[in-house]
């Protein structure tokens, strides 16, 4: 059991290497472990890390897995443990940085990640069946169209729709509408450039709110004013925070995917304790998730120690009503 911890808030302005440089100081203080804020990939610029977008990677802004390995080695050499704050119950909803959410918005119910989130695909609201409501607009949808705030463009080599600078995916079916083969072939024959034909087609669509509306109607999401979130959102959020998605960790496959990296770090002896953010009230079936956590703890603690790659029994930090 760690007798004491020292909280370190990891972000791009205080990365993992900066934390490693403090290890001698922590050793002199006599603490038992460094207690790290969430370190998995979060929304760019996040200073707290609770808006995780990709739980399969250590945040590259903070130094990535290489930086985490250097910190881990420094702590191990000093005889200190590493307690990690994890956020398995919700994720940041910025699709540009959340690959699971992007895939859902692009492919709808057929996405392999659709089951990772609580989405009501059979919403009673007219026009929302089979779609996810995205309350991200500062104005009404109609105003955003008329004002030119929504436009088609490219993100790298991928065609997307932008709301100002924020990209949203386009489903494969709508791409066929955007670039009908006959029209493109005719334009290419006239200009001799297929890429030029596509750009001309996009300019044509962006100039017509009605045409752009038809493209957006084909998507698996509906863009709307932020004011619609309270009464019309059809996915589970973290309380009423639209920028945080509830994650279905009660689902065994989702649980395994969300915890895959942290389990590996435990096996490698780089993490010696956990603090789980908001474990309370996030289970659809009572103690299901807690039961899995208990089994995981038993698996990692059975006859093991930090040097051998596991969390000894009892090193799951309790944080008031925030976690277990």
Is residue 54 helix, strand or coil?
Answer: strand
Q: Which domain holds residue 231?
A: 99-242
Cα–Cα distance measured from residue 322 to residue 305, given in angstroms and rounded to the nearest whole number? 26
Question: Based on the domain organization, do 104 and 84 belong to the same domain?
Answer: no
Question: Based on the domain organization, do 106 and 238 belong to the same domain?
Answer: yes
Q: Rounded to two decimals, what is the model's pTM?
A: 0.83
Residue 318 lies in a domain: yes
Is residue 322 helix, strand or coil?
Answer: helix
Question: Based on the domain organization, do 228 and 174 belong to the same domain?
Answer: yes
Lowest-pLDDT range of 63-77, 176-190, 209-223? 176-190
Residue 94 lies in a domain: no
pLDDT digits (tens, 9 = 90+) for 185-242: 555 555 555 677 888 899 999 999 999 999 999 999 999 999 988 888 888 888 778 7
Question: Based on the domain organization, do 286 and 303 belong to the same domain?
Answer: yes
Question: Based on the domain organization, do 173 and 56 belong to the same domain?
Answer: no
Total domain count, the chain: 2
pLDDT digits (tens, 9 = 90+) for 258-296: 999 999 999 999 999 999 987 754 454 444 555 555 444
pLDDT digits (tens, 9 = 90+) for 237-263: 887 787 899 999 999 999 999 999 999
Question: Based on the domain organization, do 104 and 200 belong to the same domain?
Answer: yes
What is the per-residue DSSP string for 205-233? Answer: HHT-HHHHHHHHHTSSEEEEEGGGHHHH-
What would the two tokens of residue 237 be? 């959020």
What is the per-residue DSSP string for 141-186? Answer: HHHHHHTT-EEEEEETTEEEEEETTEEEE--HHHHHHHS-HHHHHH
Question: Based on the domain organization, do 252 and 318 belong to the same domain?
Answer: yes
Q: What is the CATH number of the domain that holds 154?
A: 3.30.1590.10
Percent of the chain as helix, strand, coil, to the nearest 5: 40, 25, 35
Question: Based on the domain organization, do 10 and 136 belong to the same domain?
Answer: no
């Amino acid at each position: 059991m760690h007798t004491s911890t020292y909280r370190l808030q990891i972000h791009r302005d205080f990365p993992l290497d900066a934390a490693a440089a403090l290890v001698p100081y922590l050793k002199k203080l006599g603490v038992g472990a460094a207690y790290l804020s969430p370190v998995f990939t979060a929304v760019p610029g996040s200073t707290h890390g609770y808006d995780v977008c990709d739980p399969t990677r250590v945040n590259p802004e903070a130094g990535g897995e290489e930086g985490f390995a250097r910190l881990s080695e420094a702590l191990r050499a000093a005889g200190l443990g590493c307690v990690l704050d994890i956020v398995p119950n919700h994720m940041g909803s910025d699709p540009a940085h959340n690959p699971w959410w992007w895939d859902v918005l692009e492919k709808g119910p057929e996405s392999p990640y659709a089951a990772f989130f609580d989405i009501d695909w059979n919403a009673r609201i007219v026009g929302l069946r089979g779609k996810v409501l995205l309350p991200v607009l500062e104005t009404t949808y109609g105003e955003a169209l008329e004002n030119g705030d929504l436009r088609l463009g490219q993100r790298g080599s991928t065609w997307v729709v932008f709301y100002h600078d924020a990209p949203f995916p386009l489903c494969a079916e709508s791409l066929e509408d955007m670039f009908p083969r006959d029209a493109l072939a005719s334009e290419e024959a006239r200009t001799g450039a297929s890429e030029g034909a596509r750009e001309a087609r996009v300019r044509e669509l962006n100039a017509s709110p009605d045409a752009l509306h038809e493209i957006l109607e084909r998507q698996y999401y509906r863009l709307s004013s932020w004011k619609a979130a309270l009464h019309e959102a059809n996915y589970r959020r973290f309380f009423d925070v639209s920028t945080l998605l509830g994650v279905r960790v009660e689902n065994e496959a989702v649980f395994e995917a969300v915890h895959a990296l942290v389990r590996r770090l435990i096996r490698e002896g780089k993490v010696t304790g956990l603090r789980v953010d908001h474990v309370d009230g996030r289970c659809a079936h009572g103690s299901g998730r807690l039961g899995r956590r208990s089994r995981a703890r038993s698996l990692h603690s059975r006859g093991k120690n930090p040097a051998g790659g596991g969390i000894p029994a009892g090193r799951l930090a309790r944080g008031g009503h925030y976690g277990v």
